[in-house]
């Protein structure tokens, strides 16, 4: 049987497929590689000297290469997860620029937790990062971003809205119109509140941390909100009839079993249902 050390050493670093595009002032980077036959996707955004999220450690070479010809002033993080913060320390050192993040993100990344094995294999273990605390608004030479707390995916999650342009840099707030599983600790009620919060701004273009650029971002966010509101309503109705969270997840959320097995339960449909029924009044 392979131990953790041998697993980490025999699996080579992935070959990252890169797609880049420019939307107005925004340079978008979409990276993809495979682990366990599953496409690991991530997106980064550069605008006016500001880098929003940094990608996973396993894609460090590709990310650093993309930024070589770009004048970098600051790095900002939406949340602490390794596929968003994984290259922050290295890029900060290379470019001699600060990393900006929320207070809770900074606390976690000052001494990051040892990740479960599958996350180290898929994304890589992030290093400790020190930086500065975000303040609202976040301004560059040409743009002004509102820093919007958007918990739900994680407690420390924030998003960035450029009101004049109608841009939302959403981190992992959106991901897709529907969810078939959630991460342990993810909260559907908080996601609903966060989606309503960003929709109070004049958002048009959505820059997602995994899905990429969504031109009709407002419509996509509204669809996600309607789905989560439906999921909450139906979950509460079934819970009132005496069904367990596991039974409810089987009725309302199809798929996700392979992800639950691979992640040893860290990702599962039942986490979404539990976040609803355990908090209902």
Nearest to 91 by CA among 117, 126, 121, 123: 126
Position 262 confidence tier, pLDDT thresholds 50, 70, 90: confident
> Where do the domains of the chain lie?
4-229
**DSSP state, residue 73:** -
Helix, coil or strand: residue 200: coil
Q: pLDDT for 62-108, tens place per residue?
A: 999 999 999 999 999 999 999 999 999 999 999 999 999 999 999 99
- What global pTM score does this model have? 0.92
Tell me which CATH code domain 4-229 carries.
3.60.15.10
Q: What pairs with residue 29 in β-bridges?
A: 20, 44
Vertex 276, ends 274 and 278: CA angle to 5°?
Answer: 60
Nearest to 68 by CA among 123, 122, 29, 22: 29
Sheet of strand 99-101: strand arrangement: 17-23, 26-35, 38-47, 50-52, 74-76, 99-101, 132-133
Q: What pairs with residue 7 in β-bridges?
A: none
pLDDT at residue 281, rounded to an integer: 60
Position 7 confidence tier, pLDDT thresholds 50, 70, 90: very low
Position 38 confidence tier, pLDDT thresholds 50, 70, 90: confident
Distance in angstroms between the alpha carbons of the first and the last residue of the chain:
48
Vertex 176, ends 78 and 251: CA angle to 5°?
Answer: 120
């Amino acid at each position: 049987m392979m131990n953790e050390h041998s697993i980490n050493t025999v699996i080579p670093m992935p070959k990252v497929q890169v797609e880049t595009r420019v939307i107005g002032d925004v340079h978008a980077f979409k990276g993809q590689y495979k682990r366990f036959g599953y496409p690991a996707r991530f997106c980064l955004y550069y605008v006016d000297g500001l880098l929003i999220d940094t990608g996973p450690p396993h894609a460090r070479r590709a990310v650093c290469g993309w930024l070589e010809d770009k004048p970098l002033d600051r790095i900002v993080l939406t949340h602490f997860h390794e596929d968003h913060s994984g290259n922050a320390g290295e890029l900060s050192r290379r470019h001699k620029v600060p990393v900006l993040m929320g207070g809770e993100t900074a606390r976690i990344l000052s001494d990051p937790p040892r990740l479960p094995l599958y996350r180290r294999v898929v994304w890589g273990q992030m290093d400790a990062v020190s930086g500065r605390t975000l303040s609202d608004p976040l301004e560059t030479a040409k743009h002004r971003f509102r820093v919007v707390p958007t918990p739900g995916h994680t407690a420390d999650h924030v998003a960035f809205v450029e009101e004049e342009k109608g841009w939302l840099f959403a981190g992992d707030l959106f991901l897709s119109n529907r969810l078939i599983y959630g991460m342990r600790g993810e909260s559907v009620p908080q996601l609903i509140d966060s989606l309503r919060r960003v929709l109070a701004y004049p958002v048009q273009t959505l820059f997602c941390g995994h899905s990429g650029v969504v031109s009709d971002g407002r419509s996509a966010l509204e669809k996600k909100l309607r789905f989560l509101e439906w999921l909450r309503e139906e979950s509460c109705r079934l819970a009132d009839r005496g069904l367990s969270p596991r039974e409810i997840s089987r009725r309302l959320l199809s798929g996700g079993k392979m992800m639950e097995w691979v992640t040893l339960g860290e990702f599962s449909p039942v986490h979404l249902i539990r976040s609803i029924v355990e908090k209902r009044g």
